[in-house]
Amino acid sequence: MPVPPNIRPVHILFRLAAMAGAGWLLAMVLNGGWQWRHILEPSGLAAALLLAATLAVAPLQRLMPAGRLPAGLAAMRRDFGLAAFGFAALHMAGTVLALGRLDYVIQGLAWTSIWTGWVAFVLLLPPAISSVPAIRARLGPLWKPVQRLTWPAAAFAAWHWYLQTRGGGLFWSVTGLLAAMEVARIMAARRRAH
């Protein structure tokens, strides 16, 4: 089967790397070396960083419209977003399997540090589903508002990340950089409007 023209080697390499990372986490549990709880931090971190990379594309494109880096990242945005969702799904599955009982999962929703992660995951579902080309085509112009759910999902994911870790250098670097890029994008758009 021929490779579609919009799939470049970098897409294939990225997808293989993402699958290898997720596969390694699963193998560590299934081989008995780790318990399910051990995959929560790396899968959550991978999901958060990939989501941040996904969200960084639009501000970078607007700030550097002729730049090669934003153009290259834009070509990878869908891959970043789907990988973020995949690691978030692994993170949620790991949470459920680590707790081992549905009533424990439900009880966990009493803590803000837990329900914020679930809200982020639920908000990522529609953008992930609408990334399937056939569904995107059916949605037509409604596709873009569905994709914008990624921003509130990221806000809940950041809140979850903060509550789980109490911040830290990586948290503040990633969220600060995204916030600064978005503020710069909004200011540039306002200047163009006047």
The DSSP annotation for 150-179 comes to HHHHHHHHHHHHHHHHT--HHHHHHHHHHH
Q: Which percentage of the chain shows pLDDT scores above 70?
A: 96
DSSP result, 91-109 = HHHHHHHHH-SHHHHHHHT
Is it the case that residue 43 has pLDDT exceeding 60?
A: yes
Report how far residue 72's alpha carbon sits from residue 69's, in angstroms, rounded to the nearest whole number.
5
- Position 5 scores a pLDDT of 57
Domain-embedded: residue 4: no
Q: Which percentage of the chain shows pLDDT scores above 90?
A: 59
Is it the case that residue 57 has pLDDT exceeding 80?
A: yes
Is it the case that residue 18 has pLDDT exceeding 60?
A: yes
Question: What are the tens digits of pLDDT across the range 120-136?
Answer: 999 999 999 999 889 99
Domain that residue 45 falls in: 9-193
- Position 192 scores a pLDDT of 76
Domain-embedded: residue 76: yes
Is 59 within 8 Å of 184 (Cβ atoms)?
Answer: yes
Domain-embedded: residue 118: yes
**Strand, coil or helix: 185:** helix
Domain-embedded: residue 91: yes
Domain-embedded: residue 80: yes
Specify the number of domains making up the chain.
Answer: 1
- Position 122 scores a pLDDT of 97
Domain-embedded: residue 3: no
**Measured torsion, CA atoms of residues 117, 128, 11, 72, in degrees rounded to the nearest 10:** -80
- Position 98 scores a pLDDT of 93
Domain-embedded: residue 170: yes
Is it the case that residue 13 has pLDDT exceeding 80?
A: yes
Buried-exposed string 66-79: b where 16+ CB fall within 10 A, e elsewhere: eeeebeebeebbbb
Domain-embedded: residue 79: yes
Is it the case that residue 2 has pLDDT exceeding 60?
A: no
62 — pLDDT class (breaks 50, 70, 90): confident
Average pLDDT, the chain: 89
pTM score above 0.85: yes
